[in-house]
Amino acid sequence: MRAPLANRSFRRLFLARCASILGDSIFLVAIAFAVLEISDAAAAIGSVLAVGSIMLILSFLVSGVWGDRLPRVGLMLTSDLVRLVAQATLAALLITDHATIPLMMLLYGLHSVATAFFEPARTAVTPQILEPHLLLAGNGLMGTAHHTVSIAGWAIGGLLVAWLGAGGAIAVDSVTFAASALLIWSIGSIPNPGADTPREPFRAELAIGWRELRAHRWLWFTVLNATMFLLVYEAPMQVLGPLTTQAKYDGALTWGLLGAALAGGAVIGSFIVASQRLRRPMLCSLWLFFATALIPICLGLTAPFPILVVVSIFAGAAWGMFEPIWTSSMQRRVPADKLSRVAAWDWMGSLAGMPIGFLLAGVAVDAFGREYTLLGIAALTLAVCIAFLLEPTVRVLGDDFAQGRTNHSPPDPV
């Protein structure tokens, strides 16, 4: 796992990722409680989060094409600067009591647009920096650091909201984007693959990325299932989690510590995958995903906090194992000159259900109450986990890494 860090460009990308993840983790805690400072309605939280998700999804329609056309390092740098301005402005409005729900929607939407341009470029530039046999170790190391920093970020976010308010927490978040931008700038220019070849019209290039996605069952099936998972679990829990912990536990502090527990489990999962010692890494991940269905059950039943922490660690381990396997598989099986577009379709497709989930969560709470809504989330999450586990082309992803076949691009799993 130390080998990727010997690469100067990867090391700086790695440190930039750590800085932005620290801020993002703080922001995920702060944004919900920022809304609660203005309105205590579940629908208000869901609406702000839904706007951010919609802007993110719509931006992915174009960001992947530009990630294959424009220099990817420059695109990431611009994205960091835009997010710095958006977060600093939002923090100032909250601190001075000038924030409104429409302004929060606007600034969160701007932040989301910048994120949509950053992520496909980051996914595509990594295999340009690292040799193929270092991709899984590099992505695993990135995931380990991501979730390790998230532990601190979620805990710090809870403490900052409790001590300084949501505005102070988001101000700290804005500083991390400045640090990330400096590190990205220091990487220097990296030409895109096929930069000298004539480009197709914009719509044609977008369609090429779509056809590449559809050509691989493991790819489109995972994106489809991820859409359902984020719709029925991730989005509703971002609404129900803060509401439930505020009503039954210690509010932002509890929610932040549970996020830290998830991140801690993800560190363990990422580290295990990066070591390449599991024969069936994706299969192990899919089994662990069943722990996510237990989290809303525990919250609905007001389970003791230590039980919530243990369940969250197992659920986090599933995410920590899944992410580097999935990213490495895309980077090795998708042509380099199409990778930003496919990554953008992956992000957009996976997130497509989030706005619906945010909005339906608020409606469901008003109609059925928190406890029944949480139990409904658990049942739907269980169904999605079963579908993932039963798909053979997904179960075998990552097996070739564990078997030592890391110096070539393997065929698609059958």
Residue 97 lies in a domain: yes
- Give percent of the chain above pLDDT 90: 10
Q: Which of 173, 162, 175, 171 is nearest to 33 (CA)?
A: 162
Classify each residue of 311-332 as buried b or exposed e, where b means 16 or more C-beta atoms within 10 Å of its C-beta: bbbbbbbbbbbbbbbbbbbbbb
On the question of pLDDT at 408 being above 60, the answer is no
Which residue type sits at 309? V
**Poorest-pLDDT segment among 20-34, 271-285, 293-307:** 271-285
CB 140 within 8 A of CB 1: yes
In angstroms, the CA 152 to CA 257 distance is 9
Provide the total of helices (H) and of strands (E) in the chain, helices listed first.
17, 0
pTM of structure: 0.67
198 located within any domain? no
Q: How far apart are CA 84 and CA 173, in angstroms?
A: 8
Q: pLDDT tens, 22-39? A: 888 888 788 878 887 777
Tell me the pLDDT tens digit for each residue of 197-218: 666 676 777 777 778 878 888 8
Residues 6+ apart with CB under 8 A from 238: 28, 32, 45, 49, 358
Mean pLDDT, residues 156-185: 88
Residue 349 lies in a domain: yes
103 domain residue, yes or no: yes
Q: In 96-216, which residue ranges form alpha helices assigned H by DSSP? A: 101-129, 135-187, 202-214
Residue 409 lies in a domain: no
- Residue 100: which domain range? 3-189+205-402
Task: Please state, in angstroms and as integers, the Cα–Cα distance from residue 147 to each residue in 13, 127, 151, 265, following that order.
Answer: 16, 21, 6, 8
pLDDT at 404: 47
What is the model's pLDDT at position 407? Answer: 40
Whether 197 maps to a domain, the answer reads: no
State how many domains the chain has: 1
Has residue 199 been placed in a domain? no
Residue 101 belongs to a domain with what CATH number?
Answer: 1.20.1250.20
Q: Which of 292, 308, 291, 167 is nearest to 249 (CA)?
A: 308
Residue 193 confidence class, pLDDT cut points 50, 70, 90: low
CA 274, distance to chain mean position in Å, is: 19
Distance CA(357)–CA(227), nearest Å, equals: 10
Burial of 100 (0-12, 13-18, 19+ CB in 10 A): exposed
200 part of a folded domain: no
Contact 93, 103 (CB under 8 A): yes
Q: Tokens 């659920």 map to which residue? A: 315
Q: How confident is the model at residue 414 (pLDDT cuts 50, 70, 90)?
A: very low
* Confidence band of 401 (pLDDT split at 50, 70, 90): low
